[in-house]
Structure 1
Amino acid sequence: MTSPSHNPALSSDHGDLPRRGLMFIMSSPSGAGKTTISRMLLERDPSIRMSVSCTTRPPRPGEVDGKDYHFVSQDRFDATIAAEEFLEWAHVFGKSYGTPKAQVEAGLAAGQDYLFDIDWQGTQQLYQKLERDVVRVFLLPPSIDELRRRLTGRGTDSAEVIADRMARAQSEISHWDGYDYVLVNDDVDRCYAKVEQILAAERLKRARQTGLIGFARTLMAPAG
């Protein structure tokens, strides 16, 4: 008997069928942990990559153009909007951010998964354009007091900036019900484990298994 791992209809030695990639969105108010968990996911899962956005803000120390962001002028950004070449875009804290359309659509068709660290507005735009490819995860802090403690503990922002972030955080939290999954990040390792479970289940959804129809037909074909 031929084992599944050697069936020519399968795409790899692990018995994986060809599938369409997905857009894994993680949103949260600042300080709720999405950046930490995103980094953990990128370090531990080689099958997902960060979507590289365009931004008009200047590079921070250590950031690399084309890897962390595509750093562009406001004129260039506005021209890209006019040409409808963004999947989503938004103005945040006086700067502009957007997701280039062509590279993501080509990657999804080839089975590449993308991680998005965007707010609820960008999430809505992506969902309206590519609903079947989008998985939406929202992270909540265990309490407002803990969120304030985390922001203050960074030691990088003034009291005025922290107050602005707290006000924005409560506005962002009000959109929690626009997501497929909502997790309370009271423990980063436990929260990360749940994120892994969500991603694994979404990858296995029948609608994303583009090779499933052909594979099933080989199983139903008369024995020769």
Structure 2
Amino acid sequence: MYALKEREMIFVFTGPHGAGRKTVAEMSGSTLGMKQVISYTTRPPKATEVDGQDYHFISPAQFVAAQAANEFIEVSTVNDHLYGIKSSDIEQMFKSSGSIYLILNRSGAQTLKQLYNEHVVQVLIYADKETLAERMRESGDSPEVIASYLSHYEEEIAYRDQCDHVFENVDLAHTVFDLSKTLDQYLNRNLLDLD
């Protein structure tokens, strides 16, 4: 496992599916000059997803082989699909960036917190159930998929108490602005506040 240097930080974005955690994370990461570590998954890509950009899409056999070789520092199962983070990817990203971010479910967020302690900042992005259902419908998810994701809603929201920061994503621009200001305190980049 990669040993983090004193000023290296990992920001973990978590929250219920459809809350916009990926969009918020990417926009904040871009604003703050952070690199994303991409997860591996056995689930098939959605129509809008790109391999190596959204996830590394691999076969179950490839995943199991990597797992057997102890390449993953974190593995979780969501809706019968495997997800994992490779330690080598974290190390590689730190070679080009002093801070990185990941988009994980609560179990992945907990694992990273246990592994890297004070170097990990957990950020929960959420919206109410109706908003999530509407967003998923707009992105073409079936009623069954929506019901499956929403069945985890209470567990995801309950995790807020273990997170360092919690943001309700109602207005994307405001959420990204507020979040970037908050995370900048860890990075000491001194973003200008033009309020």
Instruction: List runs of 5+ in structure 1 lacking aligned partners.
Output: 1-17, 206-224
Give 1:92 shift.
1.3
Correspondence 1:24 to 2:8: no
1:78 maps to 64
CA contact under 8 A between 1:27 and 1:120: conserved in structure 2? yes
Deviation string, structure 1 residues 71-98 (Cα, Å, up to 9, x no partner): 3222221232233221211111221111
CA contact under 8 A between 2:35 and 2:93: conserved in structure 1? no
User: How do 1:1-224 and structure 2 match up within 5 A?
Assistant: 20-45=7-32, 47-61=33-47, 63-108=49-94, 111-141=97-127, 143-152=128-137, 154=138, 156-204=140-188
Larger radius of gyration: 1
Instruction: List runs of 5+ in structure 2 lacking aligned partners.
Output: 190-195
After superposition, the Cα gap between the structure-2 partners of 1:63 and 1:186, relative to the gap in structure 1 and judged at 3 Å, is closer
After superposition, the Cα gap between the structure-2 partners of 1:62 and 1:133, relative to the gap in structure 1 and judged at 3 Å, is same
CA contact under 8 A between 1:52 and 1:68: conserved in structure 2? yes
Larger mean Cα displacement after TM superposition, 95-104 or 53-62: 53-62
Identity among equivalent pairs (%)? 31
CA distance in 1 between partners of 2:115 and 2:130 (Å): 36
CA distance in 1 between partners of 2:148 and 2:44 (Å): 21
Q: Which amino acid aligns with 2:77?
A: H
CA distance in 1 between partners of 2:135 and 2:52 (Å): 30
CA RMSD of aligned residues (A): 2.5
CA distance in 1 between partners of 2:99 and 2:92 (Å): 11
After superposition, the Cα gap between the structure-2 partners of 1:188 and 1:126, relative to the gap in structure 1 and judged at 3 Å, is same
TM-score by length of 1: 0.72
CA contact under 8 A between 2:43 and 2:82: conserved in structure 1? yes
Give 1:106 shift.
4.4
Q: Which amino acid aligns with 2:181?
A: Q
Give 1:136 shift.
0.5
CA distance in 2 between partners of 1:204 and 1:155 (Å): 36
CA distance in 1 between partners of 2:48 and 2:171 (Å): 28
TM-score by length of 2: 0.81
The number of residues matched between the two structures is 185
Give 1:111 shift.
4.3
Q: Which amino acid aligns with 2:163?
A: Y
Give 1:145 shift.
3.0
SS at match of 1:139: strand
Q: Which amino acid aligns with 1:25?
A: V
After superposition, the Cα gap between the structure-2 partners of 1:92 and 1:40, relative to the gap in structure 1 and judged at 3 Å, is same
CA distance in 1 between partners of 2:130 and 2:53 (Å): 35
